[in-house]
Chain A
Amino acid sequence: MALSLRNLVSRNSLAPLPIGRLLLSTRGLQTFSLPDLPYDYGALEPTISGEIMMLHHQKHHQTYVTNYNKALEQLDDAMNRGDPSTVVKLQSALKFNGGGHINHSIFWKNLAPVNEGGGEPPRGSLGWAIDTDFGSLESLKQKMNAEGAALQGSGWVWLGVDKELKRLVVETTANQDPLVTKGPSLVPLIGLDVWEHAYYLQYKNVKPDYLNNIWKVINWKYASNVYEKESA
C-alpha cells in the first residue's frame, strides 16, 4: 500500500491527480493539504446542502489529511529506524486516513453545480461503454443506488474501469478503503460517499433519497476524461 501511494505521489503528469497539493517538509517527506473545492459550499443546493458540504470538506476531509500526514511522519520515522513492527501497525491508520484523503479528493471532482454541467449525462466513449456494460445509464444508476442502499455501515459505491480488462465495474468498499483495494487494475470514475456524514444532516436516515438525488450533481465530464485516458 505504501509503495503504490509513493508512485501516486511522484507522478508528474498533468492529468487529474486525485491528490491535493503536495507540501515538502524539511525532511523531504511529502505531506498533503486539503484541496480546495472547485465551487462554493452552497453551489450544490438543493441536492446537497451547503451545511453538509462545509462540514464534509472542512471537518471530515481535513481530519483525514491531518491524520494521514501524522501517520506518514510516523511511518517515515519507523522506516528510518528499521522498526518493522511499527511500520506494520501503522498500516490501518494509513489506509483509513490516506484512503479518506484519496476518496474525498475524487468525490469533490465527481460533483458539479447544475450550471456547470452537474447532472448532464455522459457522452462519447464513456456513454457508449455504460450502455454496453449496463444496458443504459438508468440501469447503472439503479445498480449503484441498490448497492449503496444495501451497504452496511460506512463505505463507498464506485463506478470504475478495469484498465486491464477494458471494462466498467460497479464495486463497493468499506470504510475509507480506496477502490484499488478491490483490484489493482481498477481506476475510480465516480464515487458515491455513503458514510452517514455525507447525507444525514439533510436526508436523515433516508439514504435512498440521497442516492436518488445525487445524480443531479454528478460531474460526468470528469468521469469521461478519466475513462478516456485509461482506455487510450
Chain B
Amino acid sequence: MAAGSTAINFSTPCALFPCQPLSLGFSRSSFHRHQAAKNQRRSTRRAASTPAITAKLELKPPPYPLNALEPHMSQETLSYHWGKHHRGYVENLNKQITGTELDGMLLEDIIFLTYNRGDILPPFNNAAQIWNHEFFWESMKPDGGGKPTGDLLELIKRDFGSIDTFMEEFRAAASTQFGSGWAWLAYKANRLDVGNAVNPSPADEDKKLVVVKSPNAVNPLVWDYYPLLVIDVWEHAYILDFEARRADYISIFMEKLVSWEAVGSRLEMAKAQAAERESEERRRQEEEEKNAGDAEAVEMYLDSNSDEPEAD
C-alpha cells in the first residue's frame, strides 16, 4: 500500500487518471467479450439537465425467483441479501461515480482502476461487491449440488487429486476467511506481472485451478485470475438461516446449491481466454523478433558505410 496517499476527490473529472484509454499491462477485453451477458446490466438515459449521456448500473436479479433456493437458502435471506445489500451497492456506486470519469465505464474496468494496486479507493467496495454478488447468484441454482462433470471434473482431479480434496480445500478456505469475505475456485492463467504485489499464488504453475479466499470486497479479478465459483461468507449471507454455523452453510451450499453447469461453462471461457492470450503473446514475440532482426540489418549497413579511411 502506498504510504501517505492523498485524498482523492472523485467528483472532479480526470483528476485521478489521465483521460486516455486504459492500459494496465494486460488484455482484459477478451474477458468482456466472454461475459457478453453481463453487459445487460447497464441502461443508458439522457439526464434531464445535461446533454451528456449518463449510464446507470442496474441491479440484476438472480436467474431464479427469490424463493427458488428454499429450503437451503430462504426467501427471507434472498430478499435482504439481494433486495437490500446488493441493491445498496448498485445505488451507492451510481451515486459515487456520477459526473466522474468512472461514469459510463464497464464494471470490470471500474473494479481494476479503483483497486488501485491494493491501495483501495472508495468506489471499489461498491463496484466489486456488485460484481461479486451477481457472480454469487449465478453460482447457485435450484436443485443444485451434485458433482462436477466433463472437463471441469478432469481438471479438478488433475489439480487437486480428487473431488473430495478439492471440496475440503474449498470448505477450509470458506471457513477460515476471517471476518467478511469470499472463497473462490478460480482458473489461474497469468504468467504476467500482476503488479499489485498481492498475488496469492505467485509460485503456482500456469493454467491450473486454484482455491483462494479474499477479504471484504476483493475478488480474483484483481489478481488476473478467472473466477469460476464463489461462496459469500459475509455473515449476512448465512446468519438468518444458519446463525453462527458457517460450516453448516458451507456444506449446504456445496451439497444443495452450487451450479456445476455455471462453473463448467465459465471454465470453457477461461480456457478460451487463456488460449487467446497465449496466441496474442506468441504473435507479439514474433513481431518483436522480426523488428529486432530488421534493426540489426540496418546497423550493419551503417557500419560498412562508416568504414571510410580517416586519414586523407
Interface string of B129-165 (1 = CB under 8 A from A): 0000000000000000000000000000000000000
Picked from A153, A197, A201, the residue with its CB within 8 Å of the CB of B216 is A153
Interface string of A9-25 (1 = CB under 8 A from B): 00000000000000000
Query: Do B88 and A174 touch across chains, with their CB atoms under 8 A apart?
Result: no
List residues of A (129-172) whose CB comes within 8 Å of B's CBs.
152-155
Query: Do A205 and B181 touch across chains, with their CB atoms under 8 A apart?
Result: no
Query: Do A196 and B178 touch across chains, with their CB atoms under 8 A apart?
Result: no
Count of chain A residues near B, Cβ 8 A: 20
Q: What residues on B are CB-neighbors of A195 within 8 Å?
A: 179, 235
Bound-state CA distance A63–B215 (Å) is 20
Interface string of B60-89 (1 = CB under 8 A from A): 000000000000000000001000110010
Q: In which size bucket is the chain B interface?
A: 10 to 19
- Count CB-based A-B contacts (< 8 Å): 51
- B198 is an interface residue with CB less than 8 A from chain A: no
Interface string of B189-210 (1 = CB under 8 A from A): 0000000000000000000000
- B234 is an interface residue with CB less than 8 A from chain A: yes
Contact A196 to B244, CB < 8 A, known contacts A154-B180, A175-B179, A204-B80: no
Bound-state CA distance A200–B217 (Å) is 19
Bound-state CA distance A204–B240 (Å) is 9
Query: Do A153 and B180 touch across chains, with their CB atoms under 8 A apart?
Result: yes
List residues of A (44-93) whose CB comes within 8 Å of B's CBs.
55, 59-60, 63, 92
Q: What residues on B are CB-neighbors of A215 within 8 Å?
A: none
Q: What residues on B are CB-neighbors of A200 within 8 Å?
A: 235-236, 239-240
Q: What residues on B are CB-neighbors of A155 within 8 Å?
A: 179
CB distance from B32 to the nearest CB of A (A): 27
Query: Do B215 and A153 touch across chains, with their CB atoms under 8 A apart?
Result: yes
Query: Do B180 and A63 touch across chains, with their CB atoms under 8 A apart?
Result: no
Picked from B84, B179, B240, B243, the residue with its CB within 8 Å of the CB of A154 is B179
Picked from B84, B178, B181, the residue with its CB within 8 Å of the CB of A204 is B84
Q: What residues on A are CB-neighbors of B236 within 8 Å?
A: 196, 200, 205
- A107 is an interface residue with CB less than 8 A from chain B: no
- B98 is an interface residue with CB less than 8 A from chain A: no
- A222 is an interface residue with CB less than 8 A from chain B: no
Q: What residues on A are CB-neighbors of B234 within 8 Å?
A: 153, 196
Q: What residues on A are CB-neighbors of B240 within 8 Å?
A: 200-201
A-B contact pairs, 11 of them (CB 8 A): A55-B243, A59-B244, A152-B125, A153-B181, A175-B178, A175-B179, A195-B179, A196-B239, A197-B235, A197-B244, A201-B240
